[in-house]
Structure 1
Amino acid sequence: MSPRGVAIPDLRERLFAAAERVVARDGAAALTSRAITAEADCAKGVLHTHFAGLDEFVAELVLDRFARSARQAEALEARVGEATVADNLQEVVVALMDALPSAVVGLAVTRPAAALHTREGFRSGVPAFDAIQHAFTAYLQAEQRGGRLPADADPATIALALVGTTHHLLMTRVPGRQEGAEATVRRLLDVLLRS
């Protein structure tokens, strides 16, 4: 355990990762401030020193993971012409689903204070599905200019369909059944990119 009064490097990420491990191992019902700090090997009160409570913490975890996923989606443009268009898009979608465990998302939408804080974060500009959709559209337009997407394809509609499906899968998937979600995304991309 870190000594009292000593700064803990990357504390937010350490707490976020600990929370994800607790949820993965013990389920959403086991997610308490004490369980998180014990998993992170921190003092019991450290979470409440940095967050107003568990609801704010859960919301900040979801906002952080969305922002991370948006950055990964924005990095797609650097991959234009590499691998396949479907593989590049699938990689980002799978990473997004991995970054947002369904149990954590469930907490963020079912706990009223967490849901409110999450919505406020999105309204204040934290990137979410809209940023990911924009990044997918920009990537697909670049691939279209390079000839790897048909000239008559509609990048904005493809991006919208992919983001909508990803949202649906995040909200309805069964923990531990990632393969089914990945197969669904692959089938959707096969249809969308065939046009």
Structure 2
Amino acid sequence: MSPRGVAIEGLRERLFEAADRVLARDGAAALTSRAVTEEAGCAKGVLHTHFSGLDEFVAELVLHRFGAAAALSQDLPSRAGTGGVADNLADVTSAVLSLDPGLVGLAVTRPAAARRVREAWAGGAPGFAAVERAVGAYLRAEQELGRVAAAVDVESAALALVGTLHHLLMTGPADAEASSRARVGRLVRALTGTA
């Protein structure tokens, strides 16, 4: 435990990592303020000192994790012309599919957390829309290089891909990540006409 009144460096990330461990080990129902702070080795009240409550913490954790996945997607357009189209998209799809479905489900079932996430995304925080824009830009760049057929509607393909990721994340069992990746790979090839 950290001494009372002493700032803990990297506390936010430490709490987020602790929450990830609680979710992976015990599931979404076990994610409580106490479980997170105990897992992080912090005083029980630390989470409430830095967040208005568990709902804000869950929302910020979801936004942080989606932000990391969206950040990976921003590099996609610069990768046009290198590697395989499906392979380049695999990194982004894997990042989105690696989000804990329990966490996402928890954020959806806690109205205050869900509202906070929606408001943040509406305000420009990176989420599904940022991934969709990056995938569309990447596919356009590949189309200009002739690696994606000119007939492909890249905006619709990006929407279909991101919509599928959303569907799989929201409805798939937590242990279905590998199967989901294979399904997404087939979808990418079908949408883009690439091997």
Report the TM-score, using the length of structure 2 for normalisation: 0.95
Corresponding position: 1:141 with 2:176: no
- Once residues 145 and 40 of structure 1 are traced to their aligned partners in structure 2, the CA distance between those partners, rounded to angstroms, is 48
Identity level (%):
59
CA contact (8 A) 2:97 2:181 kept: no
> What corresponds to 1:16 in structure 2?
16
CA-to-partner distance for each residue in 1:101-141, whole Å, 9 max, x for gaps?
00000000011111111112122221211111111011111
CA-to-partner distance for each residue in 1:65-106, whole Å, 9 max, x for gaps?
1111111111112222222110111211111111x2000000
- Once residues 115 and 133 of structure 2 are traced to their aligned partners in structure 1, the CA distance between those partners, rounded to angstroms, is 24
- Once residues 91 and 75 of structure 1 are traced to their aligned partners in structure 2, the CA distance between those partners, rounded to angstroms, is 10
1:75-90 to 2 correspondences below 5 Å: 75-90=75-90
| Aligned Cα root-mean-square deviation (Å) | 1.3
Give the number of aligned pairs: 194
> What corresponds to 2:193 in structure 1?
194
CA contact (8 A) 2:73 2:134 kept: yes
Unmatched 5+ stretches in structure 2? none
> What corresponds to 1:93 in structure 2?
93
- Once residues 6 and 80 of structure 1 are traced to their aligned partners in structure 2, the CA distance between those partners, rounded to angstroms, is 48
- Once residues 91 and 15 of structure 1 are traced to their aligned partners in structure 2, the CA distance between those partners, rounded to angstroms, is 26
- Once residues 141 and 132 of structure 1 are traced to their aligned partners in structure 2, the CA distance between those partners, rounded to angstroms, is 14
Unmatched 5+ stretches in structure 1? none
- Once residues 13 and 75 of structure 1 are traced to their aligned partners in structure 2, the CA distance between those partners, rounded to angstroms, is 23
Query: Which segments of structure 1 move beyond 4 Å, counting only runs of 4 or more?
Result: none
Report deviation, 1:165. Answer: 0.3
Report the TM-score, using the length of structure 1 for normalisation: 0.95
